[in-house]
């Protein structure tokens, strides 16, 4: 299952447009906030797939019936660009457990190619849990697949959700082929092109640099 927010008209399209806009990108606070707001929208849409049960809620004047979630997900984020998106998801899944993974592109000396390496992982058990892996950009899909494989050290999830603001067609296809059947993808937009350096076109640039400043 692949859901693309920009395939229907909603306020999410404005947040996406501002994330891409080179003028709006000059304001890092606005950039981070737009990632966060999209995370909230993704969380709302994703929440419709979770398990619910009826519970009594006592008000000052009586008892109301409410259908409430019976489980909380584990939200896994790829550092550092994923932090604002993670916060948006966490704003709505405010009782969720959290996992953080450091994955980066290790460029080969004197070559255009690169390898993706996972350096750090902090996570609770994900055994029989709903796992949400978020990263603003799904370019080649290799980072997403490697992070999922690294997370298997912490158990086997019963459901997997991938959340990305902008993906490439190639990246979505790679991830679908290498992640378990039934994985759900929640995407803001899917762009057709990718550069030789694996940047999505038109994309939005380097999400980590735009959110937190350039790095050496």
pLDDT over 70 (residue 106) = no
Q: What is the pLDDT of residue 32?
A: 97
C-alpha torsion sign, points 156, 117, 179, 46: positive
pLDDT over 90 (residue 117) = no
The pTM of this model reads 0.91
pLDDT over 90 (residue 114) = no
How far is the C-alpha of 144 from the C-alpha of 178, rounded, in Å?
A: 10
Kindly indicate the confidence band of residue 110, based on its pLDDT and cuts at 50, 70 and 90.
low
Kindly indicate the confidence band of residue 21, based on its pLDDT and cuts at 50, 70 and 90.
very high
**What's the pLDDT tens digit per position in 51-103?**
999 999 999 999 999 999 999 999 999 888 899 999 999 999 999 999 999 87
**What's the pLDDT tens digit per position in 156-179?**
999 999 999 999 999 999 999 999
What percent of the chain clears pLDDT 90, i.e. is strictly above it? 83
Q: Which residues of 180-207 are buried (b: 16+ CB within 10 A; e: fewer)?
A: eeebbbbbbbbbeebeeebbbeebbbeb
Is-contact 168 138, C-beta < 8 A? yes
Q: What CATH architecture is 2-50+71-212?
A: 3-Layer(aba) Sandwich (3.40)
Q: What is the pLDDT of residue 80?
A: 84
**What's the pLDDT tens digit per position in 137-163?**
999 998 899 999 999 999 999 999 999
Residues 6+ apart with CB under 8 A from 87: 36, 39
Q: What is the pLDDT of residue 137?
A: 95
């Amino acid at each position: 299952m692949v859901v693309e927010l920009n395939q229907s008209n909603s306020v999410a399209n404005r947040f996406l447009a501002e994330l891409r806009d080179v003028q709006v990108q000059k304001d890092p606070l606005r950039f981070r906030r737009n990632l966060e707001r999209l995370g909230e929208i993704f969380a709302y849409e994703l929440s419709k797939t979770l398990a619910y049960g009826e519970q009594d809620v006592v008000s000052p004047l009586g008892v109301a019936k409410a259908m409430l979630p019976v489980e909380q997900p584990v939200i896994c984020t790829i550092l550092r660009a994923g932090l604002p998106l993670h916060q948006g998801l966490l704003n709505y899944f405010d009782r969720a457990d959290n996992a953080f993974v450091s994955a980066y592109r290790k460029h080969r000396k004197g070559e255009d190619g690169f390898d993706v390496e996972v350096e750090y992982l902090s996570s609770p058990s994900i055994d029989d849990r709903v796992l949400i892996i978020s990263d603003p950009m799904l370019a080649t899909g290799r980072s997403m697949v490697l992070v999922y494989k690294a997370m298997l050290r912490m158990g086997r999830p019963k459901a997997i959700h991938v959340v990305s603001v902008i993906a490439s067609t190639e990246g979505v296809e790679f991830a679908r082929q290498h992640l378990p059947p039934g994985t759900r993808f929640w995407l803001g937009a899917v762009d057709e092109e990718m550069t030789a350096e694996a940047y999505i076109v038109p994309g939005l640039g380097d999400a980590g640099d735009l959110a937190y400043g350039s790095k050496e």
